[in-house]
Amino acid sequence: MLSAEELDIVLLSVKVALWSVVISVPFGVAAAYVLARREFPGKSLLDALVHLPLVLPPVVVGYWLLLLFGRRGPLGQFLEEWFGIAVAFRWSGAAIACAVMSFPLMVRAMRLSMESIDPKLEAAAQTLGAGRWGVLLTITLPLALPGILTGMLLAFARSLGEFGATITFVSNIPGETQTLSLAIYALWQTPGGEAAAQRLCVLSLILSLAALLLSEAMVRRTNQRVKGYDAKR
């Protein structure tokens, strides 16, 4: 059984992971569409920048986030002065760190789904009078929905396990920024905390596995609906 403190850690972790997905989805869809459907100078550079969090040490990402969103950072100072929002050392900052670290996985899944769509379908819609936004909303995004859902759930699962960027950017504050991975790290260094750490490890495994299984189930169901729609047409 989980204690009240452990339950709060789990709920905070789910909250941070959900908000990280909400933050990154619009940017993820836009980046995936540009990389899948547009040719322009600097595309390789944009692709590299999108995937940069995969190869950078997470503490480096967290340090840059602290420089940008800290109270003296350009974005952090702007948010605090104009909107009264502070993200450094807050759970909202943890959500931003998780969004950045999970962004490449989200974009990759969405991009592969969009690239699998036959461009002739989009061209046919344009010949029938649909504009660029009409094609995007009625053809591209509905057909790419399995990849979009997969990207969202992969990002959620990745956010549940984020550690390095989070602890660097928002520290390990119980009740505010202490997510599952940070709590496990703290418990392993606390005398007598091994049992609680093991419980949280198992729970983390269950949550991540559930997210991946849900992703697979949703993709299969969405593919069946798309195939059924194509058959009716």
Neighbours of 207 (CB within 10 A): 19
Q: In the prediction, which pLDDT does 6 show?
A: 84
Tell me the Cα Rg of the chain.
20
Q: Check residue 84 and give its pLDDT.
A: 83
> So what's the pLDDT on residue 232?
53
Q: What is the pLDDT of residue 95?
A: 94
Question: In the prediction, which pLDDT does 195 show?
Answer: 87
Q: How many domains does the chain have?
A: 1
CATH number, position 149: 1.10.3720.10
In the predicted model, residues of the chain with pLDDT beneath 70 are: 222-233
Q: Is the pTM of this model over 0.85?
A: yes
Structural domain for 21, as ranges: 4-232
Check residue 137 and give its pLDDT. 86
